[in-house]
A and B are shown apart, each in its own frame.
Chain A
Amino acid sequence: MNLDFTPEQEQFREKVRSWLLDNMPKEERVEGTDQAREYDLAWQKKLYEGGWAGINWPKEYGGQGFDTFQQLIFLMEYAKVNAPGDHYRFNGLNLAGPTIIACGSEEQKKQYLPPILKGEVIWCQGFSEPSAGSDLANLKCKAEIDGDELVVNGSKIWTSWARFADLQQLLVRTGAADSRHKGITWVINTMDNPGMEIRPIKDMSGGDDLHEVFYDNVRIPLKNVVGGIDNGWRVSMAQLAFERGTAFMPYAVRSSTLMEELIDVAKNTPLEDGRFAINDDHIAHELMKLRAETRALLAMTLMGVSRNERTGMPGPEGSILKLYSSEIHKKVLKLAMEILGPERFHNPDLGGDHWAWPRKFLYSFADTLGGGTSEIQRNIIGERVLGLPK
C-alpha cells in the first residue's frame, strides 16, 4: 500500500509536463468543423514528432511502448495541463490501431498503423445499428462475398465524426442472419467509398458529432478484412488487451477540475435572496458530496492500475469505473444547473463562459449511453465481477 513514484518516474513526469506546456496548441478548436479535423491531425503530428504518439502501442509499430506507470503519469499530466482531448483521433489511437496491431496482417499493419500515429488519417467506428444497440451481436448490416470483394448493404448508427473520417472500422454480418457472434466480420472501409450516404444526427445539446451511415452495394476489398471472415467478434475484443486500467485517468482528472470550477461558479453566482450559491446549505452539501465522489474516482483509477499490475489484466472492474465516472459527470452537471438557477438559460455577465455549463449538461446525457449504457455496465458488474447468474 503506497503512492510512491520512483525518482525516474518523477523525472518522466517533469519531462511530459514541460513538453506539453511548450508544445500544446494555443488556438481554439471549433468542434464540428473542418478546422477541428485539421487541429486534431496537426496536434497528433506534433505528438509524433515529439516522441509521444501511441503511448500504449508497442515500439515495433512506432508506438512508445510505455509501461503502465509511464502511461498513467502521461495521462495524468496530459489531463492536468488540459491538453487537447483525443476527439477525432480517438478511434484510430484506441480502437482501430490496437485492433490491427493485435489481429492485422503484416501488410495491413504497414499500411494502416503509421498514418494513425503521424496524424494523417481520422478513423470512425461502424458498430451499432438501429436494431443492434446494447445487443451488438444482433447486427444485420449484410456483407456478401463477390469475387475478391465484400458487398455491403445496410446501415450503421451513432458513428461519431463520420463526416470528418477517412477510414472506418466496420462490423458486418457475413454469416447467417441468426449466427449472432459467430457470423460477424471486422473490416476496414474507406469513407469515400461509392454507395455510402452519411447523415449527421443533431443531438439534444445542439451538436452533430453523431451520424447515421447507409450502405448501398458498397464494395470493400476482401484484403481489408482483419482477422478473417466471421471472426469479427473476437477481433473487436482484441483492443481490450491494450487497456492497463489507465483509461479513466483523463476522466478522473477532468472531473476533479470540473468540480473545482463548479465550486468557483457557486462562489460567484447570486441566488434570488442575494446570497452566493455556495452559502446555501443545500448547495454546499450537494457540492461537497460530489466533491468526495469525484475524489474517489481518482483513487479508484489508481486501484484499477494496481490490480492490473498484480494480475496482468484490467479485469471487469473497468465497468465499475465506467459506471461511476459517467454517473458522476452527469450529477455534477445537473448540480451546475441548480446552482446557475435562472442564469442557466442564457449567457449572463457573470464572468467565464456560463453557456458552456448548460451545453455540457445537455451533452452529459450521452455519458451513460455511449460506450455501453449504465445498465449494461451494471449487468457486467453483476455477472462478471460478482458472479450472479445471467
Chain B
Amino acid sequence: MTASTPAATFEALDDLDAINKLYRERRWSDGLPIVPPTPERVARMLACTQRKRDDVIAILPPGFGEATVERIAINAVMAGCDAEYLPVLIAATDAVAQAQFNIQGIEATTNPAAVWLVLNGPIVQQLGVNATFNCLGQGTWANATLGRAMRLILQNIGGALPGDMDRATQGQPAKYTFCCGENEAQSPWEPLHVERGFAREVSTVTVVPAEGTLNMNTHSKDAEELLRVMAESMVHPTSNEYCHGGEPWIVFAPEHADILKAGGLSKRDIKERLWELTKMPAGHLSVKEILRAQASRADEYGAIKPDTLLSIARTPDDIWFIVAGGPGTHSVYVPCFGNSRAVTREIT
C-alpha cells in the first residue's frame, strides 16, 4: 500500500528558536525541543531502509493517520535519532498497529499506558542500545531517542495529542520515552526474542503496553523467597491486570536472574510460580472492579465472588520477563494495560 499524499513540506526561517516556536504552537512536539526535519536530514534517514518512502507501514488510531516510511523518518529526525535507527521504528510501528496490541485503547484511554520498546539480537550492540546500567533511565542516545520517536509517531501520525485524542488522566514519564535492550550476555536463559519464536541472530523489537515501573529491591539470595516477595509486590487491587487477565512484565536484574537459575528454575518454572503466588482474592478489589472483572473474565471464572482467587494473567505463559540492568539487587515490575498483548517484529 502506498500513501495517498506525501508528507507536506513548508519553509521556515533558518533559526532553531523560531522553528521550535512554530512546532510548539502547532503541537508537533512532545514538549521538548526538536531537531528540524529538513529534507536533507529526512533523506539521510531514508537511505537506511530498502523500503520506499511512500510505503504505508500502518494506519495508526486514534486519528487513523497513514504511517508511511517517510513520516516515520520525519518523526525519527525530530526525536534526534541516528539514521541507522529507522528500521527499528518501522518494525515498531508495524508492531503497535497489530490488533492484539490494541493501540486504539492504549492511546485513547484514561490509563497512563506507554509503549515500551524492548530490543533483542545483534541490533542492541550495533546501535549501542543500553541493556545494562541505568538502561531504563537517562544517558544513552539510542534508548532516549528511539522511545521518543515512537511517542512522536503515535502523537503526530496517530493523532494522540494529550487532552484531545490521548485521554490519559495523568500519563506517566515513560510516555516521553521508554526503550531498552535485553542484557542477553548476562541472562542465564534464552533471550526474549528466541522465546517468542525468532532465531537468536535475528534482531527484533517488542512493543509492550506498560502502565509504569515499580522497583523491586530485595537482597534475598533464595530463589523461592525472591519470587515470593516479588509476587507480593506485584499484587495490587488497583491493577488492570486482575480485571482483564493481563500480561505483566518483569525486568530481572542479572543478579536476581542468577539466583533464580541457581535455584534450578527455568523460565517456565518462574512463570508458573509467579502465576500461583500472585493470585488475589477478588474481594480485595473494589465492588466496581469486581464487576469489571466479571465482565471480562466470566469465561474463566463464571460468577466471581469475593473469595474467588483471581490470577494476574490468564495463563502462566502470559507472564513475560527479560534480564536487563547492571549490578545491583533491583528488579522491575512493569504492570501493563491488561486489555492488550505485546507484539514482536523482526527488524529488517
Q: Do A and B bind each other?
A: no
